[in-house]
Amino acid sequence: MLILGFESSCDETGVALVDASGTATPRLLGHALHSQIEMHQAYGGVVPELASRDHIRRVLPLTDEVMAQAGVALSAVDAIAHTRGPGLAGALLVGSGVACALGMALGKPVIGVHHLEGHLLSPFLSADPPEFPFVALLVSGGHTQLMRVDGVGRYALLGETIDDAAGEAFDKSAKLLGLGYPGGPALSKLAQQGDPAAYKFPRPLLHSGDLDFSFAGLKTAVLTQVKRLAKAHPDGPATMLLADPLTLQQKADVAASVQAAIVDVLVKKSLAAIADTGLKRLVVAGGVGANARLREQLNAACAQRQLRVHYPELHLCTDNGAMIALAAGLRVQAGLVDLAAAGGDYHFDVKPRWPLAELA
């Protein structure tokens, strides 16, 4: 059972091939990814129209690269998976259109995959895959959620962000510091030079008694601190919103303090979810899951409590085709996809807004 997967929900074009034969965890045979970071840097963020056009240019050459890696002909593929949502509508249409056109040309079934389910299950491709059941901390883009996962397709929402997600808090704080795009990785890199205790930023909802998150107040606190530092600087006007007059050390200290606040909330909420459910295993997935401080803090906390914690491989933390092909393979193995019904009808739609709780 060879499944070819396409990911095009935002600013990465990903293609991958997995072998989902039998009941063993699907095995990655080939994987190629193109990031649009360099193209979007000039604009300080993702430009949807440019993202869609670039997906069109990249998807077929990446497919050729993956098939060459795997040493497999396209005709040998048994099913084709694509990200149906959530994401940018135009970008999603590219991957979905290519997948359905290829499925029609080859006479193969096509499977629409939920982008967040791909992230959620991506640690199964790691050298240390988890076992069900587990608590999942999903920190991807505009999503910060805690889920109870009892099996493929068996997800219960425990808590989620009520405003800004962790990734957005990283990106918006980076913008306030005048850092480049993508902001989150830039802030994390700068934080390595700073003092995480330099500024006392709030930990919103840390003691709320539930498992929800909120990071909008943190962003406001960072803005206030940056303006205070800029005003105090002899060369900085009081109205500065970006911290150009700040010294590199001041910026590093702010970055480290922001990161410490975000990580503190994520760690303590994750441990609370583990305690509430009585489970002994935590999975961390999504782009923020690559953050070194988050991994360090979670590893230490879980080791102290004799809990297991699992992550995707670092190169699979961002959006990628491997997680889409994997999710499709696991759904087929779990009997949640009827391949006979998935073939023959190649009409498609995309779901730019698609809560994971609505996944059938």
Can you give the pLDDT at residue 344?
Answer: 78
Q: Measured between alpha carbons, how far is 87 from 80 in angstroms, rounded to an integer? A: 19
Q: Inform me whether the pLDDT recorded for 97 exceeds 80.
A: yes
Q: How far apart are CA 84 and CA 96, in angstroms?
A: 7
- Stated as kind and residue range, the H or E segment containing 13 is strand 12-19
Q: What is residue 239's predicted lDDT score, i.e. its pLDDT?
A: 42
pLDDT confidence of residue 33: 98
Residue 353: partners with Cβ closer than 8 Å, 6 or more residues away: 85, 86
Can you give the pTM of this predicted structure?
A: 0.93
* pLDDT score of 172: 94
In this predicted structure, what is the pLDDT of residue 288? Answer: 94
To which residue do tokens 């800029």 refer? 230
- Looking at residue 176, what is its pLDDT? 93
Q: What is the pLDDT of residue 236?
A: 52
pLDDT averaged over every residue in the chain: 94
Q: Whole-angstrom Cα distance, residue 108 to residue 322?
A: 19
Kindly state the tokens that stand for 263: 């990580």
173-209 pLDDT, tens per residue? 999 999 988 899 999 999 999 999 999 999 999 999 9
Q: What's the pLDDT tens digit per position in 238-265?
A: 444 444 579 999 999 999 999 999 999 9
pLDDT at 360 over 90: no
Which tokens go with 212? 């929800």
pLDDT for 147 equals 97
Of 100, 21, 79, nearest to 347 by C-alpha is: 100
Averaged pLDDT, 298-303: 98
**DSSP code for 159:** E
Query: What is the average pLDDT across 69-78?
Result: 97
Q: What is the pLDDT of residues 112-154, one digit of tens each?
A: 999 999 999 999 999 999 999 999 999 988 899 999 999 999 9
**pLDDT at residue 301 above 90?**
yes
Calculate mean pLDDT across residues 154-158.
96
Residue pLDDT, tens place only, 304-356: 999 999 999 999 999 999 999 999 999 999 999 989 888 778 989 999 999 99
Q: Does 59 score more than 90 pLDDT?
A: yes
Residue (of 202, 293, 199) closest to 249 by Cα position? 199
32: pLDDT confidence band, cut at 50, 70 and 90? Answer: very high
